[in-house]
Amino acid sequence: MTERPTRVRADYEAVVVGSGFAGIAMAIALKRQGIHDFVVLEKGDDLGGTWRDNTYPGCACDVPSHLYSYSFELKADWSRAYASAPEILDYVRHCCTKYGLDPHLRFGYRLDVARYEEESGLWRLTVRTPTGIVQARCRTLVMAVGALHEPARPDIAGLDDFGGPVVHTAAWDHSVTLQGKRVGVIGTGASAIQVVPQVAPATGRLTVFQRTPPWVLPKEDPEYSPAAQRRFARWPWLAWLKRAAIYWTNEARVVGFARHPRAMKVAERMARRHLHAQVADPDLRERLTPDYTIGCKRILVSSDYYPALQRDNVHLETAGIDHVENGAVVTTDGRRHELDVLVLATGFDVIGTYQHLEVVGRDGRNLGHEWAKAPEAYLGTTVEGFPNLFTLVGPNTGLGHTSMLIMIEAQAELVLRAMRERDRRQARAVEVEAAAQEAFNDELQRRSASAVWLTGCRSWYLDDSGVNRALWPWSTVAYRRRTARFQPGHYRFHA
């Protein structure tokens, strides 16, 4: 009889890194499973992830809140259809308290290094804390660090020479006043179209530097009356019905996004109608009309962006940016746009997230280095070479058509299934098979070939070679189906 090696005791059964929606969902799932021996490391001083970090004026979610919330924790009293960032943050805090997570949270704890120990099957973590560096070992490491996390600083010559305040939307500096100032906003993505209408009235002059026009749909954003909120509270099935209606309406759109981009024509007509209805000047309309298929980049929703651009103190600049110099942005046609404050609404460094971390798996393999070349995982959740490691909101789990929380909940359940199977087999570790990961990614890339994201536009969905690294090219129903049953044959169990 072969003797099992003595197990090295872990300090924690599980460590979750990050306390955004994904980390909190994972923590709740662990508790529900009866696992209480875990901590959630959070480098910030509060929870909430992107909803804590993004405090720019106008920050809100562009997915209706009845769907952008956990399925197991419906909220009856959303104030409006699309909740603002502070209301969403309150909701996350509420979940944290209700599910007893507070004792598990460690604020100001930044994971520096995670190293897999083959002998024990444990992860050894080096964590920077407010009182110094600590080390701990855990069996299961769940990375819930998010994808839209590291603000992307554009590669524009002379940006460091601007001289005045340069503020990124994802790290808003509230001490910088815009009142009466000449402000430039670089970018016209989801963050820009929210911030521009909010700050425009206060500025002396606002110049929006557009490189690529976005497709914009109207935003129906009614407030929920107290009576409606009471109805949702009294009859929770009404909130369910609301959620289901939004879910299935969104879900139907995946056909156009992932399978038949031509079906996107319907959405394009709506966006064109919206542009015509809100912008009378044909020249401005022309400059605001995208030349790529709708959905290739994220479709934006706003009913106040186009009106804001037509204010007397707002100017849309469509000449490219050549460089930045002291107090000005200079466009490629040689014009100098004098500015006091520069706002970077230039998105996130999606690929870079893991490069700031040292996650070292089997045989010294470094996840950040490998993902810098090609971020790949199995179902976005497990990575060959990294036993007992799980990544939430990992590669190719992003969505362009509906709520990320659907994916997050399914992923958290998948992690539990993997842990259960590992423990049932009394294995040290569980790791996805290389063949399963490869076959899955081949299938995923074949499927992506027919998706709208590859119809010829630049976006954070694609890497430098134009490969889809961010989005899930099927429905969320398909994701839930694939993750609902744990397939032991796709994994290795280390004895």
Residue numbers of the site for ligand NAP (CB under 6 A)?
A: 60-62, 148, 154-156, 186-192, 211-212, 298, 321, 345-348, 458, 460
Question: For the chain, how far is it from start to end, CA to CA, in angstroms?
Answer: 14
CA-to-CA dists, residue 12 to 110, 137, 334, 382, 482, angstroms: 17, 7, 60, 20, 29
Closest residue to bound ligand NAP by CB: 189
| Least distance between ligand NAP and beta carbon 335 (Å) | 15
| Least distance between ligand NAP and beta carbon 192 (Å) | 6
Helices (H), 258-393: 265-278, 282-288, 305-309, 367-373
Q: Residue 276, exposed/middle/buried by CB under 10 A (0-12, 13-18, 19+)?
A: exposed
The residue behind tokens 């002998």 is 119
Complex with ligand NAP: residue 15 or 185, whichever CB lies closer: 185
Complex with ligand NAP: residue 189 or 380, whichever CB lies closer: 189
Count CA atoms closer than 13 A to 165's CA, side-chain side. Answer: 18
| Least distance between ligand NAP and beta carbon 317 (Å) | 10
Helical packing angle, 236-252 and 226-234, nearest 10°: 100
Dihedral angle over CA of 346, 351, 357, 361, nearest 10: 170
| Least distance between ligand NAP and beta carbon 458 (Å) | 5
| Least distance between ligand NAP and beta carbon 195 (Å) | 9
| Least distance between ligand NAP and beta carbon 494 (Å) | 36
Which of 332, 299, 295, 302 lies closest to 317, judged by CA? 332
Complex with ligand NAP: residue 140 or 169, whichever CB lies closer: 169
Complex with ligand NAP: residue 26 or 190, whichever CB lies closer: 190
Complex with ligand NAP: residue 240 or 292, whichever CB lies closer: 292
CA distance 23 to 4: 33
| Least distance between ligand NAP and beta carbon 87 (Å) | 13
Complex with ligand NAP: residue 335 or 458, whichever CB lies closer: 458
Complex with ligand NAP: residue 64 or 256, whichever CB lies closer: 64
CA distance 185 to 170: 13
Helical packing angle, 85-98 and 21-32, nearest 10°: 20
| Least distance between ligand NAP and beta carbon 157 (Å) | 10
Complex with ligand NAP: residue 211 or 482, whichever CB lies closer: 211
Give me Rg for the CA atoms of the chain. Answer: 23
| Least distance between ligand NAP and beta carbon 448 (Å) | 17
DSSP β-bridge partners for residue 17? 41, 143
CA distance 236 to 239: 5
CA distance 327 to 322: 14
Complex with ligand NAP: residue 41 or 264, whichever CB lies closer: 264
Which of 327, 266, 322, 328 lies closest to 295, judged by CA? 266
The residues, ordered by sequence, that sit 6+ positions from 172 with a Cβ below 8 Å of its Cβ are: 54, 55, 56, 57
